[in-house]
Amino acid sequence: MDYENGSTVTEFILVGFSGDWQIQTFFFVTFSLIYGATVVGNILIVVTVAANSTLRSPMYFLLGNLSFLDMCLSTVTTPKMIRDLLAEHRSISAWGCMVQMFFMHFFGGAEMTLLIVMAFDRYVAICKPLHYRIIMSHRLLNTFVILSWTIGFIHTMSQMVLTVNLPFCGHNIINNIFCDLPLVIKLACIETNTLELFVIADSGLLSFICFILLLVSYTVILVTVKHKSPGRLSKALSTLSAHIIVVTLFFGPCIFIYAWPFSRFASNKVLAVFYTVITPLLNPIIYTLRNQEMKKAMRKLWIKQGSFV
């Protein structure tokens, strides 16, 4: 990463939340509590699914994987953001910036794929209940999980190989709380129109298409249930509502940030916080509070651990 005059870019300056020390302290405490709750909540879901024999259905297996990805996605950016809130010099090394972008798109791409798999799981469970266990076999589930991680890796590598060697010419101020492709690409001292279009297609357009396909799939499920078994419509709607909320919370910020990545949305700190801090916390809350079986399993695990202690 060289300047045109031969000097090397060693770090990027991050422009975090502005305000006096009281506001910075408020953000520090708030985001620390949210991140702590995110880690504890998602770990609790993973442990509950792994330890409870009643949660052996494909849905809970996929939910455990989703919680793990949520925790990883939040960990990529949130601890650094929290530390920077009380720091005078907010910066990140050039390679640290590249690593942050790599893992953010890696976990984000994997989660995007997993949400599609979870939609397929709900379609089979609701529309083909008699064949559910046969279709959603352990072998297929493991294949889906490996596929989601593979797609996440391909998604991030396809963008990072074009970004990592970009030359930067002294403009190293990133107007956000973490490194992200649209903002870093804008700092390059070469023409990047082709790369910008590639990011729009790879991240923005892909997120938008997946979001529409997921909404269409949920609509198909509800229409199918309404025609075949009207009495089950309310139960199906209750089951799918949690999935629809999670999908909207995940894809909404992604579409705004990456479908128009070189507009003001890319540096919108509210969208950035919602995508990397709030959504990973809301996912376990939505799935546990709306799922009686999960809450019952968590209570059993808590009682079991309490009696053991």
**35-70: per-residue pLDDT in tens?**
999 999 899 889 888 888 777 888 889 989 999 999
**How much is the pLDDT for 304?**
66
DSSP assignment letter at 265: G
Q: What are phi and psi of 222, to 5 degrees?
A: -65, -40
Single out the residue of 37, 58, 193 nearest to residue 124, CA to CA: 58
Beta strands in the chain (DSSP E): 11-14, 91-93, 173-174
What pTM did the predictor assign? 0.86
Higher-confidence residue of 232 and 131: namely: 131
pLDDT at 6 over 50: no
Q: Where would I find the H helices in 255-291?
A: 269-273, 279-289
* Average pLDDT of the residues in 298-303: 72
**How much is the pLDDT for 71?**
94
**Residue environment code for 253-282, b if the CB has 16+ CB neighbours within 10 A, otherwise e:** bbbbbbbebbeebbbbbebbbbbbbbbbbb
pLDDT at 10 over 70: no
Going by DSSP bridges, is the β-strand pair 91-93/173-174 parallel, antiparallel, or unpaired?
unpaired
* Average pLDDT of the residues in 209-237: 83
Helix, strand, coil percentages, rounded to 5, for the chain: 80, 5, 20
pLDDT at 256 over 90: no
**How much is the pLDDT for 4?**
45
Q: Can you name the residues that pair with 8 across neighbouring β-strands?
A: 2
Q: What are phi and psi of 12, to 5 degrees?
A: -115, 145
**178-203: per-residue pLDDT in tens?**
888 888 888 888 887 888 888 888 88
With a pLDDT cut of 70, the percent of the chain lying above it is: 89
> Residue 159: which H helix or E strand, with range?
helix 138-163
pLDDT at 144 over 80: yes
* Average pLDDT of the residues in 19-27: 82
Determine the Cα–Cα distance for residues 200 and 215; give it in Å rounded to an integer: 21
pLDDT at 287 over 80: no
Determine the Cα–Cα distance for residues 274 and 270; give it in Å rounded to an integer: 6
9-13, 74-78, 222-226, 274-278: least confident range: 9-13
